[in-house]
Structure 1
Amino acid sequence: MIRSRSDLSHARRVVVKIGSSLLADVDHGIRQDVIDHLVDELQGVMKAGMDVVIVTSGSVALGRVQLGWLNRTLSVHEKQAAAAIGQPVLMSAYARAFARHGRTVAQMLLTKDDLRNRRRYLNASNTSETLFSAGVVPIVNENDTVVVAEIKFGDNDSLGALVSLVVDADLLVMLTDVEGLYDKNPTKHADAKRIGVVEHLNEEHVEMAGDAGSAFGTGGMASKLSAARVATSGGVSAAIISGKESGRLSRLLAGEDEGTLFLCGVDRQTRRKHWILEVLSPKGEIHVDVGAQRAIVNQGSSLLPIGVKDVIGVFDKGACVEIVGPDGVIARGLCNYTAEEMRRIMGHGSGDVAEILGYLDFSSVIHRDNLVLCKEE
C-alpha cells in the first residue's frame, strides 16, 4: 500500500493511462515519436521489476484523422466507425515501439458491461495475470466500435481506474498535457500552485478542477479526479503527471516531487474482503469436509475440489458462494467453476479435473485471494 512518495519505488504493478492529446496529431495522426519515448521509459520501469498495463485513448481521434472528419460533430455510428479504423493504427504503433525492446503487446477491449458482469470481470483479471506471467504488455482501450451510451465509461480516465482494480494494481498514473492538480487554473492565474500530495480527496479538490480538455480528449481534470476517487476508494493510489516530456514517470516512481499523488486510505485486501462478505449476494453453497474446513480456517488454504462434498444451487463461474463445513458456514468466495462443473469434479483431485471436464482453468475451486472467512480472528 502506497502511503507516501517514498513507497512508490516499491510498487509491484502500475496502470498507465495515456490521453489522446499526447498521442494524436491533427496533421499526421499517430505520434509515433511520443509513443516510442513513452515505451522506452516503460521498458525501464518493467526492467526494474514492475508489471505495466497501458490504458490508451486515441482510436477515435486517429480514425477522424484517417477519414478527414476533423471539423465536424460525429454521430454515434461515425464515432464507432472512426474507432474501428483508428484502433489497429494505435495497436500497430504500440507493437512497433515495444518490439524494439523484444516485447510483445496484447490488445484488451473492454466495456463497462464487461466489468459489471462477475464472470467477465474475472476473465479479464485472469487474462491479465496470464499476460504478465508471459511477459506480455496488456494494452487496454474501450471497445468504441460497439459501445453505446449506457455501457460507455465516458472517458478513459474512468476506464483506467476500473482496470487498476481489475488487475490489482498498486498505482494508477494518468499521463496528460498538464503538470498535475493546481489550486487554481494555471492558464489564468500566474500564482497557481501545483498540489504535490493529496491525502484525502474531497470536494475542495474537485472545485479546483476545471472542465477544460484538449481538442481530442474527452476527459478534463474533473474526470481525472473522479478516476482518482474510484481508484483510491478501491485501495489503489493514483497520480496525475505530464506526459509531454520523457523522464517524468521514472521520476514519479523514484519518489520525486512529480505531478500530483493521491494516496489511498483503504487497504485493498480489507476492502475486497468487505466487498465479498458484505456486498455480494451468495448464489449457492459448497459443502466441504472437515479436512477442507481445517485447511481453509487454520492454514489459509484455497479450496480444492477433493474437499467438496456437495453443491447447492445453480450459479455461474465467478459467482459468490458460501462455503459450509461441518460446523456451519465458514466462508464466502468467488467460485472458479459453475455449479454443474462443481458437481462433476467434487471429491476428485485437482489432477483429475482436466480429464473430467476436458480442460483445466484452475487447480482450486476458490482461490485464497477470493475467499473470506466469515469469522476471522
Structure 2
Amino acid sequence: MTNYQWKRIVLKVGSALIAPEKKGCSSRYLLHIAKFILQCRDMDIQVILVSSGSVAAGAHFFGNIENPSLATKKAMAAAGQNEMMATWDRFFDFPAAQILLTHGDLQDKERYDSVRSTIFELLDHGILPIINENDVVTTDALKVGDNDNLSAMVAAAADADSLIICSDVDGLYDKNPNIHTDAKLIKQVAQIDQSIHDMAGGAHSSVGTGGMKTKIEAAEKATSHGLSTYIINGFKEGSFEQLIQGNNPGTIFTPYDMPMKTDLHWMTHTARAQGELVIEGDFEYPLDENSAQLTSHDLVEVRGEFSVGDTIFVRSDDGKHLAKAQANYSSCLLNFITNHEYSDDSHEFIHHTGPLISDKNIAVLEQEDRV
C-alpha cells in the first residue's frame, strides 16, 4: 500500500531518535520526521504518533546514573514526558494531544473502546495524537513493555491503514547486519512464520528497548488486522522521502488477505488471559463456531483467578492450546463446580472464543502473555 492510498497511519518513533545522547530531546533526527508528518497531513493523511523517549529525555535531570532504580526511571519519565511533548510541539503549527496508556487501558474492553473514541475525536478535529506508555504509573502486570507492540495495538484500535516503525537499521535482514557484512535486506514479507521470527535480533541502540524481535511481533499484530507494516531506518531522511514518493525504503509486511475483525483481534493480540480452563471430551471443533458445546461437564481444572467477562485460555487436558475465550463464570464459581456435584451440568462457561490457535502462534501468544 503506497502513500496515496493511505487515509490514516501510525508512526512509531523510538528513544534513540528522540534523545540520542540522553541529554534531553534533540531535533537532530526529529526534523525530517516532523517534515514527513506535515507532508502526510498536507495530503489529507491522518497521522497518529507513538513516541518513546520520556525516560531518555528526562535522564539528564538526574545526573550520570549508570543503573537507575525503578523509582528513578519513573521520575525520569515524569520529567522527560513534558520535555518530549514540548519538543514535538515546537515543530508544528497545529495542536497535539498527549495520550498516556498502560496495557490495563487496552486489555479492558470498555477502556479500549474509550481510547478508540478519543483518538477518532482528536483526528476529526485535526489534532495530532501523541501516544506513549505511561511509565510513571505502570507496573509489571500492566505494562506493554515496548512501544513497538504498543504501536501495533494502537494502530488496530485506530483502524489505521499502515503502521510505520522506525528502526536504527534499514529493515529486516536475513542475518544481523551489525555482525555480518553479507547480510541482505528483505524488502517484502508476505507471511510472518517462524523463520521470520528467527531472523529477529536484539536491540543495538543504547537507549532503545525494542529490538527487531518486538518489531516483528508488532508487524504480526498489525498485518493480522489488515495493516501494511513498514520497518524503516528512522535516522535517514531519505527513508521518509521515499515513503512520500510511494516507495518502500525498508521492509514491508503485507496484510492478511482476510483480516481479523476488531473484537477478535483485540482478544487475540491485546487482551491478556487472566487464567485457564482445562477441559476434556470429544467435543466438535472449531470452538469459535459452537462454544456452547463446552459445559461444566467438560471442565477438568481451573487455573488462576478471573471474573465474569475476563479473557482466559482454554486448553485440553493433554496440554493443547485450543483458544482464547471470555468466561461466563468466575474462577471461584467454576472451582466450586469442579469440586462439587452439581445438579445441572450444562452450564455454558464460554461466552466468546477467539480463533483456533495454530502451533506456530502458541509461542507468540504465550510470549505476549508474559510481557
TM-score (norm. length: structure 2): 0.69
Counterpart contact for 2:22–2:56, Cα < 8 Å: no
After superposition, the Cα gap between the structure-2 partners of 1:131 and 1:185, relative to the gap in structure 1 and judged at 3 Å, is same
Counterpart contact for 1:26–1:65, Cα < 8 Å: no
| 1:307-356 deviation per Cα after TM superposition (whole angstroms, max 9, x unaligned) | xxxxxxxx99xxxxxxxxxxxxxxxxxxxxxxxxxxxxxxxxxxxxxxxx
| 1:154-189 deviation per Cα after TM superposition (whole angstroms, max 9, x unaligned) | 111011010001111111100121100001111222
1:94 maps to 2:88: yes
* CA positional deviation for 1:46: 1.1
1:203 maps to 2:194: yes
After superposition, the Cα gap between the structure-2 partners of 1:274 and 1:210, relative to the gap in structure 1 and judged at 3 Å, is closer
Counterpart contact for 1:35–1:93, Cα < 8 Å: no
1:271 maps to 2:261: yes
**Match in the other structure for 2:47:** 52
Q: Distance in 2 between matches of 1:246 and 1:276?
A: 34
**Match in the other structure for 1:32:** 27
SS of 2:115's partner is helix
SS of 1:173's partner is strand
1:76 maps to 2:76: no
Aligned equivalent of 1:65, options 56, 60, 69:
60
Counterpart contact for 1:22–1:34, Cα < 8 Å: yes
The one-letter code of the counterpart of 2:104 is D
1:120 maps to 2:114: no
Counterpart contact for 1:15–1:53, Cα < 8 Å: yes
| 1:84-136 deviation per Cα after TM superposition (whole angstroms, max 9, x unaligned) | 010000000001111xxx21110000000001111111111111111111111
After superposition, the Cα gap between the structure-2 partners of 1:44 and 1:63, relative to the gap in structure 1 and judged at 3 Å, is same
Q: Distance in 1 between matches of 2:121 and 2:56?
A: 30
Aligned equivalent of 1:135, options 101, 112, 126:
126
* CA positional deviation for 1:220: 0.6
Aligned residue pairs: how many? Answer: 272
Counterpart contact for 1:23–1:58, Cα < 8 Å: yes
SS of 1:214's partner is coil
% identical aligned pairs: 37
After superposition, the Cα gap between the structure-2 partners of 1:274 and 1:59, relative to the gap in structure 1 and judged at 3 Å, is closer
SS of 1:43's partner is helix
After superposition, the Cα gap between the structure-2 partners of 1:278 and 1:240, relative to the gap in structure 1 and judged at 3 Å, is closer
* CA positional deviation for 1:267: 3.7
Q: Which runs of 5+ in 1 are unaligned?
A: 281-314, 317-377
* CA positional deviation for 1:274: 5.4
* CA positional deviation for 1:273: 6.8
* CA positional deviation for 1:17: 0.2
The one-letter code of the counterpart of 1:74 is P
The one-letter code of the counterpart of 1:208 is M
What is the root-mean-square deviation in Å for CA atoms of aligned residues? Answer: 2.4
The one-letter code of the counterpart of 2:47 is V
After superposition, the Cα gap between the structure-2 partners of 1:84 and 1:194, relative to the gap in structure 1 and judged at 3 Å, is same
SS of 1:172's partner is strand
Q: Distance in 2 between matches of 1:122 and 1:238?
A: 23
Q: Distance in 2 between matches of 1:276 and 1:18?
A: 23
* CA positional deviation for 1:253: 4.7
After superposition, the Cα gap between the structure-2 partners of 1:203 and 1:75, relative to the gap in structure 1 and judged at 3 Å, is same
SS of 1:25's partner is coil
After superposition, the Cα gap between the structure-2 partners of 1:277 and 1:194, relative to the gap in structure 1 and judged at 3 Å, is closer
Q: Distance in 1 between matches of 2:168 and 2:155?
A: 21
* CA positional deviation for 1:266: 4.3
Counterpart contact for 1:232–1:266, Cα < 8 Å: no
* CA positional deviation for 1:9: 2.7
Aligned equivalent of 1:19, options 14, 19, 36:
14
TM-score (norm. length: structure 1): 0.68
After superposition, the Cα gap between the structure-2 partners of 1:184 and 1:254, relative to the gap in structure 1 and judged at 3 Å, is same
* CA positional deviation for 1:276: 9.4
* CA positional deviation for 1:257: 3.3
SS of 1:16's partner is strand
Q: Distance in 1 between matches of 2:74 and 2:14?
A: 18
Q: How does 1:355-374 map to 2 (within 5 A)?
A: none
After superposition, the Cα gap between the structure-2 partners of 1:276 and 1:209, relative to the gap in structure 1 and judged at 3 Å, is closer
Counterpart contact for 1:160–1:227, Cα < 8 Å: yes
| 1:259-298 deviation per Cα after TM superposition (whole angstroms, max 9, x unaligned) | 0000111444x52375699999xxxxxxxxxxxxxxxxxx
Q: Distance in 2 between matches of 1:255 and 1:97?
A: 24
Q: Distance in 2 between matches of 1:112 and 1:154?
A: 9
Q: Distance in 1 between matches of 2:174 and 2:56?
A: 30
The one-letter code of the counterpart of 2:159 is D
SS of 1:32's partner is coil
Q: Distance in 1 between matches of 2:185 and 2:267?
A: 40
